[in-house]
Amino acid sequence: MINKKANIKDVAERAGVSVTTVSMVLSEKGRISSDTIDKVNQAVQDLGYIKNRTASNLRSQKSTLIGLILRDISDPYYAEVAAGISEVLEEKGYMLFLAQSGTSQEKFDQCLATMIAQDIGGIIFCPIRDSELPNLDKVKNVGLPIVCVARAKINQPIDFVGPDNMQAAKIATEYLIKQGHRQIAYVGGQSDSLSRAERLGGYCSTLMQFGLPFKSEWVVECDKSQTASAEAVSQLINKNPKITAILCHYSSTAFGAVYGVNRANRSVGKDNYIGQQVAIIGFDDVPEAELIQPSLTFVSSPIRDIGRQAGHRLINQINDKGSVPQSLILSPELIARNSA
């Protein structure tokens, strides 16, 4: 026997009130006594009633569905950002519609078209590439509230939330210099990455501040896999054995660097005076950093808070159509562990 799905009339009969009263309680509108609210909520729970959000959206002209387009949903950074966004939106009665665009404008357009067809109330997205934004004409044409969450600053008149990459690299480089390091390398990322360019700017300016030379051969590109990082670091140290510290562009780069240092017959740690140990600092902390031996030092932006701020900015746009776009840059902090 199949149980009939409860509707709003069933809830009204169960609670002994009118359908209008049930509707007002569910939408949190009107002046309803607390006793009546309790009766309706109890009836909803007893019957397992599920509110028809689509019908509710049509009546209120307000969608509770928010689109989130990420480049790579497996990226720990954006997974944490998504968690922060979800916390804020769900607290306000919204739900996320998650999609993955990769680095393709065509794929981004497909994600967007599907979301618009589902009558979303706004969109939060990350750039399809670190160096550029996708074409946003379709978003602008339908007048959707929009917020960009990115790893590097953007020069567009839209709401933006992201980290301070230059400051993060300054903190990391100065920390190493004050520990006595003078031969500091940078590994990871690609030359077209804006976040990498910002961090290299902080790295170079700090070397200059302390009178240390910048050596281009100590700045190495590689993709974000641990295998690529391990190979790049082992080659770098074998060619330049004087290097005593490495800044790693991705969290995965830092993990791979540990293996690369070991392959070069060195160990990872803080003792740079004997010449056997190499200090490692990564960017954007992850839980696994405390599990590896030695535990990894990171300079990290408040990633989940970046997501929360993006959620707040979108809700602000939804509630205030005349809101002025803002650029929110969140400050990083050093998380010192045993690798540096």
Whether residue 266 sits in one domain with residue 141 = no
CB 8 within 8 A of CB 23: yes
pLDDT in tens, 83-136: 999 999 999 889 999 999 988 888 988 888 888 878 889 999 998 876 567 777
Write down the pLDDT at residue 258.
Answer: 98
pLDDT in tens, 194-246: 999 999 999 999 999 999 999 999 999 999 999 999 999 999 999 999 999 99
Whether residue 181 sits in one domain with residue 253 = yes
What is the per-residue DSSP string for 206-236?
Answer: HHHHTTPPP-GGGEE-B-SSHHHHHHHHHHH
Whether residue 88 sits in one domain with residue 14 = no
Whether residue 204 sits in one domain with residue 294 = yes
Whether residue 271 sits in one domain with residue 171 = yes
Give SS3 for 164: coil
Whether residue 257 sits in one domain with residue 218 = yes
Structurally, the chain folds into a number of domains equal to 3
229 found inside a domain: yes
216 found inside a domain: yes
Taking the model in full, what pTM does it have?
Answer: 0.78
75 found inside a domain: yes
Rounded mean pLDDT, 145-171: 92
Whether residue 176 sits in one domain with residue 296 = yes
pLDDT in tens, 109-120: 888 888 887 888
Rounded mean pLDDT, 157-162: 92
Structural domain range at position 44? 8-51
Q: Which two tokens stand for residue 65?
A: 């569905």
236 found inside a domain: yes
Whether residue 19 sits in one domain with residue 30 = yes
CATH number (domain holding residue 296): 3.40.50.2300
57 found inside a domain: no
Structure-model confidence comparison of residues 74 and 294, the more confident one: 294
198 found inside a domain: yes
